[in-house]
Amino acid sequence: MTSIKVKIMNVKNAPPAFHVLGKPTGAICNLDCKYCFFLSKEMLYPGSRFRMADDLLETYIKQLIESQRVPEVNIAWQGGEPTLMGLDFFKRTVELAEKYKKPGQNILHTMQTNGTKLDDEWCAFFKEHDFLIGLSVDGTKEMHDTYRVNKGGAGSFDQVMRGLDYLKKHGVEFNILCTVHAANAEYPLEVYRFFRDELGAHYIQFIPIIERVDETILPLANVGWSDRDGGERPLYLQTGNLVTKRSVGREQYGRFLNTIFDEWVQRDVGEIYVQLFDVTLGSWINQPSLCVFAPTCGNALALEHNGDLYACDHYVEPDYLLGNIQETHMIELVASDQQRKFGRDKLDTLPQYCLDCEVRFACHGGCPKNRFTNTPDGEPGLNYLCPSYKLFFKHVAKPMGIMANLLRQQRAPAEIMKLYARGEAPQAVTADYSQTGRNEPCPCGSGKKFKNCHGRH
Ligand code: SF4
Ligand code: SF4
């Protein structure tokens, strides 16, 4: 283990907490999902074995735990496919976490997996150590198998369902991660009801697929990002202003969310947790909880299998490499000017169109990785998903306002369903902020005048 001593309290600009996605196999995966641009990141480490070594694992766990000045530390694994490391790697992780955790600290273990390798042994281990498992499923078999295929090109749905059965058999908590793309975006209710009614999911995340490319690599990218028998293969970088044919449409994602929201808000609040709906409610009560919809970011990093720390999981590319944790303590990299600037740029580079936007308090321009379109007056830096965000945040404004008020009164947001049942809640209709006078109450439900509230949540 590399021992680098740092007085955490003395590190200037160090955040009290941050999140790291550990990639113990780098980009290596047993599947070959067509939209998974991360597969191409294998090209950043030619000749590597793509396995996190034991001494690096210990360095990582030690640094991560000692850097956090909050009671809960999340040790989060993703890939590639982390289960390819084998179970012993994760047993060692749990052992090391116990060795280094500070008095009063609680460790939360999480893993994002494609589920195909899960069996009794894995799931008994997850249950014993309270792992929270994120399972990638894109909807029904037909939708899922369109892009989530194995190395031979066959769909992975049946294997994933077998993995889910093991998770359920052992009572492991799971979260469905569903990417939204060309093959499922037109079927929001089928997708949502499948997760809720067929899979018995209580936690669901919807993640838009936006594969950004320029015209030179578009034809290759449309084929996919994996290695293909000596054929030409593109490396995914955040450049270009085109998207692949698999990507969700600019408004399509918003329509997808709105349809699901209308069903959820009338029957599932408090039972089914859809991450984006929760995060949006957080914005309505001035507590943004997801980097994508926070004013600034920079506290969600990615660690490669060799100790290289990157600014974000979406920016694992040379320009965003902060350093290696075997040479420089993680907290110094997280607090570095380069990383703090990365986080501030999210706010500092907002186009005027966003600064003037009526739903900026909930959107904050979205993730910088998707800001590659122009505003109506030609300013660059507008989010590809802006039309979706406007659709969604306006559509949910009234019910969100009601739920936010319930929360402020320390009542359960789920009470909104009673209002709907009695026909007393407004339908989730578009809130027209343009009609809101500056001295009128803000439609977000905060109770403040619009002029004092708008954009300042
Ligand atoms: S770049 Fe996007 S995903 Fe990464 S930390 Fe910032 S907002 Fe979050
Ligand atoms: S909805 Fe569009 S204009 Fe408004 S803040 Fe978001 S990205 Fe910017």
Among 280, 354, 391, which is best to mutate for testing ligand 2, by the most ligand atoms less than 8 A from CB? 354
Dist CA 18 CA 395 (whole Å) = 32
pLDDT band at 10 (very low <50, low <70, confident <90, very high): confident
292 lines ligand 1 (CB under 6 A): yes
CB of 87 closer than 8 Å to CB of 126: no
Dist CA 41 CA 23 (whole Å) = 11
Rounded mean pLDDT of 60-65? 98
Beta-carbon count within 10 A of 77 CB: 27
CB of 192 closer than 8 Å to CB of 256: no
Identify the burial level of 270 via C-beta atoms within 10 angstroms of its C-beta, where 0-12 means exposed, 13-18 middle and 19 or more buried.
exposed
* Percent of the chain residues topping a pLDDT of 70: 91
**CA nearest ligand 2 atom 2, residue:** 386
pLDDT band at 6 (very low <50, low <70, confident <90, very high): confident
pLDDT at 185 over 90: yes
Host H or E run for residue 42: none
pLDDT at 98 over 80: yes
DSSP per position, 194-261: IIIIIS--SEEEEEE---EE-TTTHHHHHH-SS--TT---PPP-S--SEE-TTSPPTTHHHHHHHHHH
Strands of the sheet containing 72-77, edge to edge, are: 273-274, 203-208, 173-180, 132-136, 106-113, 72-77, 19-22, 300-303, 308-310, 321-324
CA distances from 407 to 68, 400, 414 (A): 29, 10, 10
Secondary structure class of 423 (helix, strand, coil): coil
CB of 259 closer than 8 Å to CB of 329: no
What atom of ligand 1 comes closest to residue 290's alpha carbon? 8
Dist CA 121 CA 454 (whole Å) = 52
Which position has the token pair 């999911």? 201
203 lines ligand 2 (CB under 6 A): no
Going by DSSP bridges, is the β-strand pair 19-22/300-303 parallel, antiparallel, or unpaired? Answer: parallel
pLDDT value, residue 441: 61
For residue 414, give both structure tokens.
Answer: 């789920």
CB of 384 closer than 8 Å to CB of 372: yes
Do you find a cis peptide bond into 80, omega within 30 degrees of 0?
Answer: yes
Rounded mean pLDDT of 198-225? 92
CB of 263 closer than 8 Å to CB of 192: yes
Dist CA 28 CA 24 (whole Å) = 9
Rounded mean pLDDT of 111-130? 98
pLDDT at 437 over 60: no
pLDDT value, residue 79: 82
How high is the mean pLDDT of the chain? 91
Of 76, 91, 109, nearest in space to 302 by CA: 76
CB of 434 closer than 8 Å to CB of 358: yes
Amino acid at site 339: Q
Most confident of 25-29, 215-219, 257-261, 439-443: 257-261
Q: Read off the pTM.
A: 0.90
What atom of ligand 1 comes closest to residue 312's alpha carbon? 4
Ligand closest to CA 394: 2
pLDDT value, residue 232: 62
Dist CA 303 CA 88 (whole Å) = 20
Rounded mean pLDDT of 41-66? 92
Among 38, 290, 292, 310, which is best to mutate for testing ligand 1, by the most ligand atoms less than 8 A from CB? 292
pLDDT value, residue 456: 39
Beta-carbon count within 10 A of 94 CB: 17
pLDDT value, residue 286: 86
Q: What are the pLDDT digits (tens) for 331-381? A: 999 999 999 999 999 999 999 999 999 999 999 999 999 999 999 999 999
- Those residues whose C-beta lies under 8 Å from the C-beta of residue 229, and which sit 6 or more positions away, are none
210 lines ligand 1 (CB under 6 A): no
Q: Cα-flanking dihedrals φ and ψ of residue 398, to 5°?
A: -70, -50
pLDDT band at 237 (very low <50, low <70, confident <90, very high): confident
Q: What are the pLDDT digits (tens) for 151-177? A: 889 999 999 999 999 999 999 999 999
Which are the catalytic amino acids?
313
pLDDT at 451 over 90: no
For residue 153, give both structure tokens.
Answer: 């090109």
Which position has the token pair 């028998």? 229
Rounded mean pLDDT of 123-134? 98
CB of 310 closer than 8 Å to CB of 379: no
pLDDT at 454 over 50: no
